Structure 1
Amino acid sequence: MPSTSSLGSNYTFGSNFSGSFTLGILLDGGIKTFSKVTFIVRQTGKFSTIICWLGNIVPTANICSLVGGCGLYIPSGCALLASSLNGQLNINFNLITIVSGGSLGLGSNGVHIALKFKFTLELDCLEH
């Protein structure tokens, strides 16, 4: 739901939810719902830095294994830097969504690194 068209409006998300889900109010004022536990990047920074994450919760392998896999959402204007993962992403992200203008950095300062994904995932790149 875009923020500009929703100012002063009411929005109904549904009459009931079951199972895991995430509701995020993004920094641009937009409201986004996800059908699974989803970690949302709120500002550019390293994966392991708490301030990068909406809700100040850094994703862990334990959290995502408890719910059968998580989502990762990188909005426009944010870059998530994977350099702090030491070359391996061992968290079960079923879906990584990168909105146009956002990025998942696999290196730092012009140095590219290999990043191994421990779990199969879907990578979804969206236009803004």
Structure 2
Amino acid sequence: TISGGGSGSVTFLATKSGELTDATVWSGGLAPSGNFSLSIPAGITITISGGTLSLQMLRCDVYGTLALGSGMLSGGGFGAKGTALKIVQGGVAGASFTLTSATGPFTCGMLPDGSIETYDSVTAIAINSGDFPAAGTFLGGFAPSADICSGGCGIEVISGVTLSTAGLNGALNFDITSITVATGATFQLGTPGASTGFKFKFPITLSIFGGMSFVCSGGYIMLPPGSEFDISDGGEFSSSIS
């Protein structure tokens, strides 16, 4: 049956193996959509093979197998510790990994180079150079927002990508708990030419393995108490203010 999943969500129960989007796979004859939870019994494999994916999944109890194609799962909790997730490309099973956390927020993303990143938090992965509010900047169109990040979000900027904050107009006013900038990536803080600086409303951890540039013509970077700003060996910080 399809039942209430709490927090306004609906729980979909798989009755046979197949694609997530195949309505005949689910007991109620409807494919999951909106805010939902999944339950996959033992012996059943549910495959997600879309080119990109952004799911509003609140919980996923996997006792069988969840096979993930190119895209991202975010925000789910998993009820079976040790569940194996297989990564499928072109109908062929490729890489796989095993969950070590039984419950709580979760993000899994397949990057453009085919590698897999997993996080024990709701995390937006910047895979294209662009502005912070733009959905096209992030894997699966998963742009962070106040609604999505009401419980806190992380951001990962992968190598080769420049993430701009110009569209935030000088302030990050929702709860981003961490921003990690990979080697070869750049995080641009502020709006070019603005003299107001940039302010973080919530405590944040900035981990810079690549580059971070302050592009305002004046002002300060304002971090609230409890924040951390770490630049690793090989990381760089630059400022347009001479």
Same fold (TM > 0.5): yes
Q: How many residues align?
A: 118
Identity of aligned residues (%): 36
Q: Hey, what does 2:199 align to over in structure 1? A: 116
Q: Structure 2: where are the runs of 5+ without partners?
A: 1-92, 211-233, 235-242
| Residue type at the aligned position of 1:116 | K
Distance of aligned partners of 1:9 and 1:21 in 2 relative to their CA distance in 1, 3 Å threshold: same
Secondary structure, in 3 states, of the residue corresponding to 1:61? coil
Contact 2:153 2:175 in 1 (8 A): yes
Q: Distance in 2 between matches of 1:10 and 1:57?
A: 23
Q: Which residue type is aligned with residue 161 of structure 2?
A: C
* 8 Å CA contact retained: 1:40, 1:72: yes
- Name the larger-Rg structure: 2
2:104 is equivalent to residue 19 of structure 1: yes
Within 5 Å, which residues of 2 pair with 1:1-128?
A: 10-14=95-99, 17-65=102-150, 68-107=151-190, 111=193, 114-126=197-209
Amino acid at match of 1:106: L
Greater relative contact order, per chain length (Cα 8 Å cut-off, separation 6+)? 1
Deviation at 1:16, TM superposition (A): 5.7
| Whole-angstrom distance in 2 between the partners of 1:29 and 1:54 | 13
Tell me if structure 2 keeps the 8 A contact 1:75–1:99: yes
More deviation in 13-22 or 26-35? Answer: 13-22
The one-letter code sitting in structure 2 at the alignment partner of 1:81 is S
Output the TM-score relative to the length of structure 2.
0.45
Q: Distance in 1 between matches of 2:111 and 2:178?
A: 18
**1:121 aligned partner, one-letter code:** I
Q: Give the whole-Å Cα distance in 1 for the aligned partners of 2:125 and 2:146.
A: 16
After superposition, the Cα gap between the structure-2 partners of 1:108 and 1:86, relative to the gap in structure 1 and judged at 3 Å, is closer
Instruction: Provide the C-alpha distance between the structure 2 equivalents of 1:56 and 1:25, rounded to a whole number of angstroms.
Output: 13
Which residue of the partner structure matches residue 10 of structure 2? Answer: none
More strand by share: 2
Query: After TM superposition, which residue ranges in structure 1, 4 or more long, deviate above 6 angstroms?
Result: none
Give the C-alpha shift of residue 14 in structure 1: 2.4
Letter in 2 for 1:98: V
2:119 is matched by which residue type in structure 1?
F
For normalisation by structure 1, the TM-score amounts to 0.81
CA distance in 1, matches of 2:128, 2:94: 27
